[in-house]
Amino acid sequence: MRFLIKLFIGVSTLSILIACGSTKTTLRPEATANINKIAVIKVAEPEAYVAQDFGSIGTMFGAVGAAAAGGSSANTAKSVAEVAAQAKYKAGKRFTSQLAKRLASSGYQVSLITVSRKENHKLLKNYEAVNAPDADAILDVAIESIGYATEHPMFSPHWRPASKVHVALVDSRTGKTIYAEKFMYGYHNPFMSGTDIEAPEQFHFDSKDKLLADNVKLIEGLNHSVDSVVDQTVAVLKK
């Protein structure tokens, strides 16, 4: 039994490590000196508002427990999605408006552009077809996931807003990525590469029932998730 547990942990860890790689391209200080106009691609809405119960004790006991935990997560995710739908909440729309507002306040000329993409949760593979003739750079943001998550059944079992968001700033003339970063808000995994952002305790819930009982606070947590990534992005791009 002990051998099987070690094997399960080893396989899971290896899978995580294989799936993760470098996610950051550091912006050189002199790069922003040549950027005055930024075309912000309107951020696509997430494919779903998820809830992942990584803190469930079931996830520690192999396939059967994982299946049970997965079922619980699916039910909770559906409920979180329902709350977001009832509130007409749009994370992509908030990202777009906040980025445009904050970048303009930082001294950039900002335009909003729309592009079509095959996968909303991924950055564009190239920017040759993006029509931004007057922009010095193109800002692309992709919401890989957003919602709520628990972290560990013993040390961090509470639910908190959680998101994974990719950001890239691309030179509109060369198509070269001059800045890229993956942000992980709320839920953290030491085997995943990215920039961690803590979710304040005011948005932590002791249980799934409490999470779903306070719709206003649930939405506020999602807003904080979005705004925190915007804060970090604008701070990097500050002239």
What's the mean pLDDT in 70-95?
A: 80
Tell me how far apart the alpha carbons of residues 92 and 90 are, in angstroms, rounded to a whole number: 5
Contacts of 137 (CB under 8 A, 6+ apart): 35, 37, 38, 39, 169, 170, 171, 172, 178
pLDDT band at 7 (very low <50, low <70, confident <90, very high): very low
pLDDT band at 6 (very low <50, low <70, confident <90, very high): very low
pLDDT digits (tens, 9 = 90+) for 94-151: 999 999 999 999 999 999 999 999 999 999 999 999 999 899 999 999 999 999 999 8
> Given this model, what pLDDT does residue 151 score?
84
Contacts of 209 (CB under 8 A, 6+ apart): none
Share of the chain above pLDDT 70, in %: 79
Tell me how far apart the alpha carbons of residues 67 and 16 are, in angstroms, rounded to a whole number: 19
138 within 8 A of 172, measured Cβ to Cβ: yes
* More confident position, 61 or 89: 89
> Given this model, what pLDDT does residue 71 score?
43
E-assigned strands of 31-136? Answer: 37-41, 50-53, 109-113
The CB density around residue 66, as the number of other CB atoms within 10 Å, is 16
Indicate the residue type of 176.
K
Tell me how far apart the alpha carbons of residues 29 and 234 are, in angstroms, rounded to a whole number: 14
> Given this model, what pLDDT does residue 154 score?
66
pTM given for the model: 0.82
pLDDT digits (tens, 9 = 90+) for 172-225: 999 999 999 999 999 988 888 899 999 999 999 999 899 999 999 999 999 999
80 within 8 A of 147, measured Cβ to Cβ: yes
pLDDT digits (tens, 9 = 90+) for 11-43: 344 444 434 445 689 988 888 888 999 999 999
Q: Is the pLDDT of residue 232 over 80?
A: yes
Query: Domains plus CATH for the chain?
Result: 25-237 (3.40.50)
The CB density around residue 107, as the number of other CB atoms within 10 Å, is 11
Cβ-in-10-Å burial (0-12, 13-18, 19+) of 111 comes to middle
User: Phi, psi (5° rounding) for residue 173?
Assistant: -85, -40
